[in-house]
């Protein structure tokens, strides 16, 4: 994967949350603001943008291909278990071949007159490296992998690894129509959320 320019994360404020819910809760956002630079905090690792040809599989098994981008430190450390032993392994961003997201955990992030707002975020995923090494990570997904930008002949879109949902007070149901309790992990995502992404290097 080659480095590209850094991308500025989209800032969301609370009123936008309601608009997201009404729009289907899963937004694919494309805006020129995303291309501007943002300096890291004093103690934060330097973030860089990487790009490669990729195939994204969504929650309903749709597949989208194109040139994908993600922002991450040059290297990062993950904890993973192998034969009952807990290891810490340093991973280089350029060595990631695929990410498979497997479980999502609901976290309450707000409430309004209609009900409670939850963010369903990845709690378990599998990493595949270019050398064939695979590891299972069960302690959450780093924030820098919350979304991925993809470009192809159709244009430019941003896909997310999480989704927002409203648990409605009057009906006891989710705004998206999905089934499940307000606690416990889910083994399936919203149809517009990334289920896996595979990178292909020329």
Res. 37: pLDDT tops 80:
no
Query: Alpha-carbon distance 108 to 117, whole Å?
Result: 6
Query: Alpha-carbon distance 27 to 105, whole Å?
Result: 19
pLDDT value at position 23?
40
pLDDT value at position 111?
93
> In which band, very low, low, confident or very high, does the pLDDT at 40 lie, cut at 50, 70 and 90?
very low
- Helix runs in the chain, H state only: 14-22
Distance set, CA 35 to CA 2, 45, 72, 106, 120 (Å): 16, 19, 15, 30, 26
pLDDT in tens, 175-198: 999 999 999 899 999 999 999 999
What is the pTM assigned to this prediction?
0.76
Instruction: Please state, for a pLDDT cut of 90, what percent of the chain lies above it.
Output: 61
pLDDT in tens, 126-166: 999 999 999 999 988 999 999 999 999 999 999 999 999 99
Count the neighbouring beta carbons within 10 Å of the beta carbon of residue 33: 11
Q: Which contacts qualify for 118-124: CB closer than 8 Å, 24 or more apart?
A: 118/164, 118/165, 118/166, 118/167, 118/182, 119/162, 119/163, 119/164, 120/162, 120/163, 120/164, 120/165, 120/186, 120/189, 120/190, 121/146, 121/161, 121/162, 122/161, 122/162, 123/185, 124/185
| Dihedral over Cα of 20, 23, 26, 32: its sign | negative
CA atoms within 13 A on the CB side of 8: 12
């Amino acid at each position: 994967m080659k480095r590209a320019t850094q991308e500025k994360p989209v800032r969301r404020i609370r009123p936008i949350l309601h608009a997201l819910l009404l729009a289907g809760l899963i937004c694919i956002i494309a805006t020129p603001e995303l291309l501007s630079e943002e300096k890291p905090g004093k103690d934060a690792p330097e973030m860089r943008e990487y790009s490669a040809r990729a195939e994204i599989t969504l929650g309903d098994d749709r597949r989208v291909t194109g040139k994908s981008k993600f922002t991450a430190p040059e290297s990062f450390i993950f904890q993973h278990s192998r034969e009952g032993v807990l290891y810490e392994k340093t991973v280089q961003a350029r060595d990631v071949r695929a990410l498979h997201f497997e479980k999502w955990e609901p976290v309450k992030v707000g409430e309004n007159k209609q009900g409670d707002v939850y963010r369903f975020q990845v709690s378990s995923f599998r990493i595949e490296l270019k050398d064939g090494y695979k590891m299972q990570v069960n302690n959450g997904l780093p924030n820098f992998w919350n979304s991925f930008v993809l470009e192809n002949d159709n244009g430019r879109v941003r896909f997310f690894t999480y989704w927002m949902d409203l648990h409605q007070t009057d009906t006891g149901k989710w705004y998206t129509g999905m089934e499940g309790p307000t606690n416990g992990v889910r083994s399936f995502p919203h149809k517009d959320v990334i289920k896996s992404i595979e990178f292909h290097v020329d």
